[in-house]
């Protein structure tokens, strides 16, 4: 054991990842039907998983904001590289899909942009 290591935190973080995977499975088909490219969704999932494993655990409400924030961030990254394919989804559409307010999603996008680059 390392000093300051909590064995209680690990099962909670695993639960957070499982909740996130459930959210992904629920929303992926909706996003694909709206024309969002699979590459954008995959990049958003990778970014979110990276952040969740390093900074977790998070609540369900936070997860509902983190995933749309990573989608927006991924779209802007791909757009900057000229590799965005499919439809660009906007904040209003994400608000309806995830039932997450835009202001908080923007806040999470800024946090993730600073943390993940």
Q: What is the CATH number of the domain that holds 73?
A: 1.10.472
> Is 15 part of a structural domain of the chain?
yes
Read off the pLDDT band of 13 (50, 70, 90). Answer: low
> Is 75 part of a structural domain of the chain?
yes
> Is 63 part of a structural domain of the chain?
yes
Structure tokens at 22: 């459930």
Q: What's the domain range around 71?
A: 9-116
Residues 6+ apart with CB under 8 A from 95: 68, 101, 102, 105
Number of folded domains that form the chain: 1
> Is 79 part of a structural domain of the chain?
yes
> Is 1 part of a structural domain of the chain?
no
Distance CA 69, CA 46 (A): 13
> Is 3 part of a structural domain of the chain?
no
> Is 32 part of a structural domain of the chain?
yes
Nearest to 48 by CA among 101, 98, 103: 98
Res. 12: pLDDT tops 60: no
- Give me the long-range contacts of 35-38 (CB less than 8 A, separation at least 24): 35/86, 35/87, 35/89, 36/71, 36/86, 36/87, 36/89, 37/84, 37/85, 37/86, 37/87, 38/86
Res. 11: pLDDT tops 70: no
What value does the mean pLDDT take over residues 59-69?
89
Res. 60: pLDDT tops 60: yes
Task: Give this prediction's pTM.
Answer: 0.81
> Is 25 part of a structural domain of the chain?
yes
């Amino acid at each position: 054991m390392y000093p300051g290591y909590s064995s209680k935190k690990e099962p909670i973080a695993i639960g957070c990842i499982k909740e996130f995977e459930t959210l992904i499975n629920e929303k992926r088909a909706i996003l694909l039907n709206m024309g969002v490219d699979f590459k954008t969704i995959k990049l958003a999932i990778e970014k979110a998983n990276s952040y969740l494993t390093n900074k977790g655990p998070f609540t369900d409400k936070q997860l509902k904001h983190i995933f749309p924030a990573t989608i927006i961030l991924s779209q802007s990254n791909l757009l900057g590289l000229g590799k965005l394919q499919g439809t660009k989804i906007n904040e209003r559409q994400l608000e309806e899909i995830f039932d997450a307010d835009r202001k908080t999603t923007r806040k999470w996008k800024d946090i993730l942009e600073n943390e993940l680059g």
